[in-house]
Homo-oligomer: A and B are copies of this chain.
Amino acid sequence: MATKKMNAFYAQSGGVTAVINASACGVIETARKHKDKIGKVYAGRNGIIGALTEDLIDTSKESAAAIAALRHTPAGAFGSCRYKLKSLEANKREYDRLIEVFKAHNIGYFFYNGGGDSADTCLKVSQLGEAMGYPLQAIHVPKTVDNDLPITDNCPGFGSVAKYIAVSTLEATYDVRSMAKTSTKVFVLEVMGRHAGWIAAAGAMASTKDFELPIVVLFPEVPFDQTKFLAKVDALVKKFGYCTVVVSEGCHWPDGKFLAEQGTRDAFGHAQLGGAAPVVANMVKDALGHKFHWGVADYLQRAARHVASKTDVEQAYATGKAAVECALRGHNSVMPTIDRVSDKPYRWKVGLAPLSKVANVEKMMPKNFISPDGFGITDKCRTYLAPLIKGEDYPPYRDGLPRYVTLKNVAVARRLPEFKV
C-alpha cells in the first residue's frame, strides 16, 4: 500500500457502454474526496495506449460539474481502445514502459475499467509492480455489455443494454402487431452477443406473465435449427397473427458458421454485407411468405444512455467508488464485484474478487436460463434479469437532446521520450 501521497491512473478499455463513464465518475469523485492520499487522477487518452505513449489527461482540470455529468454520459469520455498487452515474456518492453510512465508521474494506483481481456492486463500490471519493486496497486473496474465476467453477479453496462433491448423489443412488437393484418407479420431484431446470449435473452423480457407476446429468441448457445425455427414462427403467427424474432449476432449453424455469413456477394463479388437479421427475415419470407421488417441495433443498444437502467448506473458508479476505496484500504490485484444478496426485494452489495480468478475466465449463460425448446428464457432467467433492467435514470435534456458532457481532456506535460506502440 502506498504510504505517501501518489497519483492515480484510470483508463477505459474495449467496447464502451452507456455507463462506463458512471464508473469513471465513481473513481474520480471518490479520489477527490481523499486528496490526502490520492493526488491527481490521470486518465489514459484512448485507454492503455495513453499510458504507453505518455498521453495522460489531467482530470483535475475538469470542474466538479463536468465530472458529475459523466454519470449520465454514455461511451468513453477519455477514449477507449482495443489493445491487449501480450504476456510479460512476449512484450517486456511495453510493461517496462508502463512502469516508467507511472514512475515519471508518481502514479501509485492503477484503475482499469474493462472486461475480461482488461482484467488480464490489470493482473499483469499488478504482478509487474511487485516483480519490479514498484509500489503499484492495480484494481480492475468491471465493465462489459457481454455480462461474461466471472464471480460478479452481473457486469456494469449489461443492465442498460438489456433494458434498451427489452424496451425496443416491446415497442417494435406493438408496432408489428398493429400492422399484421394487411402488412408486416414478422419483425426481426439483431442484437449484440457473439458468444453469449445474455443480450438476446433480454428481448424475451418484453413478454411478461401478465401479458404474453410472441417473441422468438435465437441464442448463440443453441445451434440454429432452421426447420424447428420456421415451425415456431409459423405456429406463433397462426396463433397471434404476428411475431418478433430477436436474433443474436452470434447465432450460428450447427457447423459453427454464423447465420450472417450467408455467402452473400454484391454485384462486384464482395463478400457479405448484411447481418443475421436480414438473413433470418428473408428465410421466414421464403418459407412462410410473411412480409417482414428487420432492424440491427448495433451501437445504438450499448450507447443508449437515454434509457439506461437505474440499477446499472448505480452499480457502475458503486464499483468505481469501491475500486478507489479498496485501494485506499490497501488492496491490490482485485476487482469490485456485484454480489446479489436477494432477488425479491432485489438487494446487492459490492464485494471483492482476486484478479487471478477473474482474468481469462468467461462466464456463460447457465443452460437452465434457456427454455427447453431453445427459443426463450426460463423463470430462473427472468428472476435474474428483472432487477438488472429496473429503474430509470434519465439524463438531463436541453433543446430536446440529452446534455452529455464532452470533457476538456487537457494533456499532462510529457516527461519521457516518445514511445511507439
Binding site for B on A (CB under 8 A): 12, 15-16, 18, 46-47, 49, 73-77, 79-83, 163, 166-168, 170-172, 174-183, 187, 189, 205-206, 208, 211, 262-267, 270, 273-275, 277-279, 282, 286, 293-300, 302-307, 309, 386, 389-392, 394, 397, 399-402, 404, 406
Chain B residue nearest to A183 (CB atoms) is B82
- Cα-based distance from A79 to B181 in the complex (angstroms): 8
A174 touches B262 (CB 8 A): no
Given A16-B175, A75-B178, A175-B303, 18 new contacts (CB under 8 A): A16-B178, A46-B182, A75-B174, A79-B181, A81-B179, A171-B303, A171-B305, A172-B298, A172-B300, A187-B299, A206-B401, A208-B399, A265-B265, A274-B274, A294-B298, A295-B299, A296-B296, A389-B400
Residue from A83, A171, A286, A304 with most neighbouring chain B CB atoms (10 Å):
A171
B406 touches A211 (CB 8 A): yes
CB contact under 8 A between A297 and B299, given known A275-B278, A282-B270, A307-B307 = no
- Cα-based distance from A368 to B61 in the complex (angstroms): 42
Find chain B residues with CB under 8 A from A175 CB. Answer: 16, 74-75, 299, 302-303
Q: A273's contact among B163, B167, B205, B274, by CB below 8 Å, is which?
A: B274
Find chain B residues with CB under 8 A from A171 CB. Answer: 18, 74-75, 299-300, 303-306, 402, 404
- Cα-based distance from A406 to B163 in the complex (angstroms): 20
A304 touches B168 (CB 8 A): yes
9 tightest CB-CB pairs across the interface, nearest first? A263-B267, A76-B178, A295-B298, A389-B400, A274-B274, A171-B303, A46-B181, A75-B174, A273-B278
A400 touches B49 (CB 8 A): no
Find chain B residues with CB under 8 A from A182 CB. Answer: 46-47, 49, 81-83
- Cα-based distance from A298 to B171 in the complex (angstroms): 12
Chain B residue nearest to A159 (CB atoms) is B400
Measured CB to CB, the closest approach of chain B to A125, in angstroms, equals: 18
Find chain B residues with CB under 8 A from A400 CB. Answer: 163, 166, 205, 309, 386, 389-391
- Cα-based distance from A397 to B167 in the complex (angstroms): 10
Chain B residue nearest to A174 (CB atoms) is B75
CB contact under 8 A between A300 and B168, given known A80-B178, A400-B391 = yes
Measured CB to CB, the closest approach of chain B to A29, in angstroms, equals: 20
- Cα-based distance from A36 to B176 in the complex (angstroms): 37
The 17 listed contacts between A and B (C-beta, < 8 Å) are A49-B182, A74-B174, A79-B178, A80-B179, A82-B182, A83-B182, A163-B400, A168-B304, A170-B402, A171-B305, A175-B303, A189-B300, A208-B401, A264-B264, A270-B286, A293-B298, A294-B298
Measured CB to CB, the closest approach of chain B to A361, in angstroms, equals: 24
- Cα-based distance from A12 to B81 in the complex (angstroms): 48
Measured CB to CB, the closest approach of chain B to A172, in angstroms, equals: 4
- Cα-based distance from A295 to B304 in the complex (angstroms): 13
B306 touches A307 (CB 8 A): yes
- Cα-based distance from A12 to B77 in the complex (angstroms): 44
CB contact under 8 A between A394 and B392, given known A174-B404, A273-B274, A273-B279 = yes
Find chain B residues with CB under 8 A from A47 CB. Answer: 181-182
A183 touches B397 (CB 8 A): no
B267 touches A303 (CB 8 A): no
Measured CB to CB, the closest approach of chain B to A213, in angstroms, equals: 9
CB contact under 8 A between A179 and B211, given known A265-B264, A400-B386 = no
A300 touches B307 (CB 8 A): no
B401 touches A205 (CB 8 A): yes
Measured CB to CB, the closest approach of chain B to A165, in angstroms, equals: 10
Chain B residue nearest to A392 (CB atoms) is B397
